[in-house]
Structure 1
Amino acid sequence: MALAVGVVGISYGATAIAAGLPIWLPVVLGIAVLGAGSEFLFIGIVAAGGSPIAAVAAGLLVNARHLPYGLSVPDVVGTGWRRPLGLHVMNDESVASALAQSDHPRKQAAYWVCGLGILLAWPGGAAIGTLVGAVVPDTAVFGLDAVFPAVLLALIIPALRDRTTRRAALVGAGLAVASAPVLPPGLPVLVALTGVAVAVGRRADE
């Protein structure tokens, strides 16, 4: 998982450099924010001439998905001095890896190994990407952005055996695809959360 994220990080770093941004920016964002979707959106807005304040606001909105993430894995992020670090490494991949495990010790181990691995791989990939970007302006031709969505899909497939979960996923995916043409990148994933509300409502009726 961390390797896949590192590969996408290469694309991210190269994209930032191709947009004319300073070489240090994607690496610093990769360490401090550790959120691929919000970082891609931030760089896209700034590169298009948008206000940095608007770019930060859009990034925070995209990262609002971490609220349900925190509610789904409250017992694996650690306590005491470990908790701030545990919250920092909370992302799509670490949460999905934890939820894919069968018991608490495995959930906790998967969360931390994946989270810390991505903490190293994402800014590391971004740093490599800034170098690659000077040679290959368009890394999208390699399809690097398809790597970690494929890994996430493999992780969630076992959970789709549950009918309620499957219903929520299908509704959310449908709404995300429908809204993608009209919403900025990163926001359709928030629209997909509507699927959870629909599934909960159906379960209550049953």
Structure 2
Amino acid sequence: MSAAPFAAEHAAARRQGLSVGLATGVYGVSFGALGIAAGLDVWQTVALSLLLFTGGSQFALVGIIASGGSSVTAVATSTLLGIRNGLYGLQLARVLRLLGWRRAAAAHLTIDESTAVALAQEQPEVQRTGFWAAGLGVYAFWNLSTLVGALVGNAIGDPRVWGLDAAAAAAFVALIWPRLKDRTGQVTAALAAAIALISFAPMPAGVPVLLAAIAAIVIGLASAGPSSAHDIEQPEGDLL
């Protein structure tokens, strides 16, 4: 492969990563407003995005707190939803080949978007470029927009009066929508939603979401079966 197309592939991966970062990052505005509505202050909300940095887990955590659920339920649900990032990491490790603090930094940036952009590339070197471009892009835009959303929510008082709590729910749906392209994802989402709705009335706040998350993980692991271990060993699915 000549130098010119190789450089072009790196540039294309960077553009793809940054565009994904911008498109995904703007949803942080809704998360920032939801954090304020849940009773967190601006810096607590911003800290969640800086340190937790996984959209689904963040929305679940703050949503359960806002609905009156216990902190234990909120943390448990958030943790369960974040398990998939560890599975991504098993694949990306062979592509990134990092040690020390760089490995820790890469682990923090291992999310759906950085994984998808990395694996969309063909060459390992370009995969690494795509991973860092998407990971850093999402991280920068997500945290910036979280700050904006938190400041706006703090300035207007109760964001629920303006309907920003509903906007946060819509943003969460927008985040998971691209993952519902195959039948497994659709069935998993439908069953999890059904469990949450059925258990909503009799269960304490936050528990329906926890039960739905557990069901989703069980279905995901069952549908993967023995082939998932094979996929992790193949370069086609190399992740961190």
- TM-score normalised by the chain length of structure 1: 0.77
In structure 1, the partner of 2:131 is 111
Query: Could you say what secondary structure the match of 1:34 adopts?
Result: coil
Q: How does 1:80-99 map to 2 (within 5 A)?
A: 80=99, 81-99=101-119
1:198 offset after TM fit, Å? 8.0
In structure 2, the partner of 1:25 is 44
1:108 offset after TM fit, Å? 0.9
Q: 1:195 aligns with which of 212, 223, 234?
A: 223
Counterparts in 2 of 1:194 and 1:176: CA distance versus 1, 3 Å: farther
Q: 1:171 aligns with which of 171, 178, 184?
A: 184
- TM-score normalised by the chain length of structure 2: 0.67
- C-alpha separation between the residues in 1 aligned to 2:67 and 2:22? 30
Question: Any conservation in 2 of the 1:12–1:129 contact (CA below 8 Å)?
Answer: yes
Aligned residue type for 2:35: A
- C-alpha separation between the residues in 2 aligned to 1:107 and 1:34? 21
Aligned residue type for 2:187: G
Residue 138 of structure 1 pairs with residue 163 of structure 2: yes
Residue 101 of structure 1 pairs with residue 132 of structure 2: no
- C-alpha separation between the residues in 2 aligned to 1:189 and 1:128? 32
Question: Any conservation in 1 of the 2:29–2:148 contact (CA below 8 Å)?
Answer: yes
Query: Could you say what secondary structure the match of 2:80 adopts?
Result: helix
Aligned residue type for 2:84: R
Work out the number of aligned pairs and report it: 186
Query: Between the two proteins, what is the percent identity of the paired residues?
Result: 33
- C-alpha separation between the residues in 1 aligned to 2:86 and 2:94? 14
Counterparts in 2 of 1:144 and 1:56: CA distance versus 1, 3 Å: closer
Counterparts in 2 of 1:106 and 1:99: CA distance versus 1, 3 Å: same
Aligned residue type for 2:223: G
Q: How does 1:36-75 map to 2 (within 5 A)?
A: 36-75=55-94
Greater relative CO, 1 or 2 (CA 8 Å, sep 6+): 2
1:146 offset after TM fit, Å? 5.3
Q: 1:14 aligns with which of 23, 27, 33?
A: 33
1:193 offset after TM fit, Å? 4.0
Mind listing any 5+ residue stretches in structure 2 that lack a counterpart? Answer: 1-19, 197-208, 229-240
- Alignment root-mean-square deviation, CA: 2.7
Determine which structure has more spread, i.e. the larger CA radius of gyration.
2
Counterparts in 2 of 1:86 and 1:49: CA distance versus 1, 3 Å: same
- C-alpha separation between the residues in 2 aligned to 1:5 and 1:132? 19
Question: Any conservation in 2 of the 1:176–1:192 contact (CA below 8 Å)?
Answer: no
Question: Any conservation in 2 of the 1:13–1:125 contact (CA below 8 Å)?
Answer: yes
